[in-house]
Amino acid sequence: MGHCITKCVSLFILLFSVHLQAQTTIRVLSPPEPISSDSVRLMQPEYSPDGNYIAAAGENFRGIALLKQNGKFIRWLTGAEGAGYRFSWSDDSQKLICRIFKSDKRRRQAAVAIIFVQSDSLRLITEWDKNIGVPGWCNRSKSVYFLHHNELQRITIEKTELSEETRWLRYQNLGNLQPFDLFAYISADRLVVQDVRNTYYSHIIYPGRQLLNPQLSADQNRIAYEILGQGLQIAHKSGKPIIDAGNFHNASWLPDGNWLVCSREQDDGLRIVASDLYAISADGRTTIQLTQTDNLLEQQPNWSPDGQFIICSDHLQKRIYRLQIQVR
């Protein structure tokens, strides 16, 4: 009997220690504080890869604003309709890729555009068309991909001349090519992960379901995405195993690929009444609540490149907030 009690106590201590370790793996050092002006309504903030800037969408995703890393407003990069919806930075932090819209005689058309941050210029890289999907970068930001009439298209932005030695090495290793620079996209009810050489391809099909927000981890081994009405899913790049993480949205990866930050929202059927941020481990086993605020509706979080800060937007005020995080 005594031996059994000792084992039970030991088991309790072990479980408590694991729980405690899980809860202290990520710690909030400072609560959400506003860093953008209340005179400019912004949403969906995203750090540049070098950490020097923040780009953020205007209200209703109209336009993209450029801010310093401390939230100080610099200028509007564009005021185009739809530009702020799921724009993305290039690897060198010099460009943004986005989809913009125009309406003409009851027709709404879209085009893919590149914004050059330093020169403050915008260049269309497609014709106007009503069936153009959200673009993204691939091939180390030397190419852009998007869906056109539900067919994958890629446009090369920068051409790289390969040395004769590199060409020869690639020729010798054609049979042993490893997945290179993966990118992910959604085509109808299918989530696709592939590489720029077309040597790697995997997909997950959800018949009749709507998929949203595919996000590859920096090491390109895992992908997070949402199923409308079901919530966040985490999968290996091959499509298995699939972890149903629960009712979370707008996931952003910690740069080391071990954690995600996302939002959990509550509504009354008409409007959002509560929203807070959570961290979820890549294996889906640990969930840590990061915010619990009554006066803020934190959404669209984004992790800083050094992993020390998380920025987000408040659904009501349309301001950018920042909290400091310790990951250990």
Q: What is the DSSP string of 98-141?
A: EEEEEEETTEEEEEEEEEETTTTEEEE-S--BS-B---EEETTT
Half-sphere exposure of 145 (CA within 13 A, CB side): 20
- Indicate whether 93 pLDDT > 80: yes
Range of weakest confidence among 42-46, 120-124, 161-165: 161-165
Q: Which residues of 237-272 are buried (b: 16+ CB within 10 A; e: fewer)?
A: beeeeebebeebbbbbbbbeebbbbbbbbeeeeeee
- Indicate whether 178 pLDDT > 80: no
- Indicate whether 161 pLDDT > 70: no
pLDDT at 270: 87
Residue 209 CA, chain-centre distance (Å), reads 21
Closest CA to 303 of 89, 48, 21: 48
**Domain map of the chain by residue range?**
26-157+176-327
Residue 277 CA, chain-centre distance (Å), reads 15
On the 0-12 / 13-18 / 19+ scale of CB atoms within 10 A, 275 is buried
Higher pLDDT, 1 or 214: 214
What is the per-residue pLDDT across 96-120, written as a single tens digit (0 to 9) for each?
A: 999 999 988 778 999 999 999 999 8
- Indicate whether 260 pLDDT > 60: yes
pLDDT bucket at 240, cuts 50 / 70 / 90: confident
For domain 26-157+176-327, which CATH number applies: 2.130.10.10, 2.40.50.140, 3.90.1150.10, 1.20.1250.20?
2.130.10.10
* Beta-ladder partners of 253: 260
Closest CA to 186 of 138, 129, 146: 146
pLDDT at 174: 46
**CA–CA distance, 306 with 287 (Å, rounded to integer):** 21
**CA–CA distance, 125 with 286 (Å, rounded to integer):** 42
Chain mean pLDDT for the chain: 87
